Chains A and B, each alone.
Chain A
Amino acid sequence: MSTFIEYTKTKQFRWISSALLLVALLILPFLFKNYRVFQFNLVLVYAVAVLGLNMLTGFNGQISLGHGAFFAVGAYVAAVLMDRAGMPYWSTLPFSAVVCFIVGWLMGFPALRLGGHYLALATYAFALAVPQLLKYKNIEGWTGGVQGIVLSKPEPPISFSFLGQPFSADRWLYVFTLAVAALMFLLAWNLLRGRVGRAMIAIRDHPIAATAMGINLPVFKSVTFGVSAAFTGVAGALGAICVAFVSPDSFTVFLSITFLVGVVVGGLASIPGAIFGAIFIQFVPNVAEEISKSAPWAIYGVVLIAIMYMMPSGVMGLLKKIWAGMQPATRVDPVRKS
Chain B
Amino acid sequence: MDAFLHQIFSGLANGCIYGSVGLGLVMIYQATHHINFAQGEMATFSTFIAWALIQSGWPYWAAFFVTVAISFIAGLVIQRIILRPVEKSPVLTNVIVFIGLLVIFNSMAGWIFDHTIKSFPSPFAQKGMLVTPWFSAHEVGSALVMLAVLFALYAFFRFTPIGLAMRAAAQNPDSARLVGIRVSWMLAMGWGLAAAIGSVAGMMVAPVVFLDPNMMGGILLYGFAAALLGGIDNPGGAVIGGFIVGVLENLLGAYVIGTELKLSVALVLIVGTLTLKPDGLFGKQVVTRV
Contact = CB atoms under 8 A, between A and B. Distances in A.
Partners in one complex: yes
B263 A132 contact: yes
Interface residues of A, number: 48
23 contacts: A63-B92, A110-B271, A110-B274, A125-B271, A126-B271, A128-B218, A128-B266, A129-B263, A132-B260, A132-B264, A136-B261, A254-B103, A257-B99, A260-B99, A264-B96, A293-B111, A293-B115, A294-B107, A294-B108, A301-B102, A304-B96, A304-B97, A305-B104
Interface of B: 34-35, 37, 82, 85-86, 89, 91-97, 99-104, 106-108, 110-111, 115, 217-218, 221, 224-225, 228, 258, 260-264, 266-267, 270-271, 274-275, 278, 290
A295 to B, nearest CB: 7
B35 A253 contact: no
B92 A135 contact: no
Interface of A: 57, 61, 63, 65, 109-110, 113-118, 120-122, 124-126, 128-129, 132-133, 135-137, 208, 253-254, 257, 260, 264, 268, 292-298, 300-305, 308-309, 312
Contacts of B278: 113-114, 118
Contact of A293 (B100, B106, B110): B110
A264 B99 CA distance: 12
A301 B274 contact: no
B263 A135 contact: no
Given A125-B271, A294-B107, 11 more contacts: A110-B275, A117-B91, A121-B274, A129-B264, A132-B264, A137-B258, A137-B260, A294-B108, A298-B103, A304-B99, A308-B93
A137 B261 CA distance: 10
A53 to B, nearest CB: 12
A254 B97 CA distance: 15
B223 to A, nearest CB: 11
Instruction: List the 4 closest pairs (A to B, CB-CB), nearest first.
Output: A301-B104, A304-B100, A297-B107, A116-B91
A129 B249 CA distance: 14
Contacts of A133: 261, 264
Contact of A125 (B82, B102, B221, B262): B221
A308 B101 CA distance: 12
A195 B92 CA distance: 24
Contacts of B224: 121, 125
A125 B267 contact: yes
A309 B260 contact: no
A135 B96 CA distance: 29
A304 B103 contact: yes
B100 A301 contact: yes
A129 B267 contact: yes
B110 to A, nearest CB: 4
Chain A contact residues: helix, strand, loop or mixed: helix
Contact of B274 (A114, A137, A253, A305): A114
Nearest to A305: B100
Contacts of B228: 121
A88 B82 CA distance: 50
Contact of A122 (B85, B91, B115, B274): B274
Given A294-B111, A304-B97, A257 B264 contact: no
Contacts of A120: 35, 37, 95
Contact of A63 (B85, B91, B104, B218): B91
A2 B91 CA distance: 41
A242 to B, nearest CB: 25
A16 to B, nearest CB: 39
A291 B72 CA distance: 31
B260 A118 contact: no
Contacts of B263: 128-129, 132
Contact of A300 (B103, B258, B264, B274): B103
Contacts of B258: 137
B231 to A, nearest CB: 13
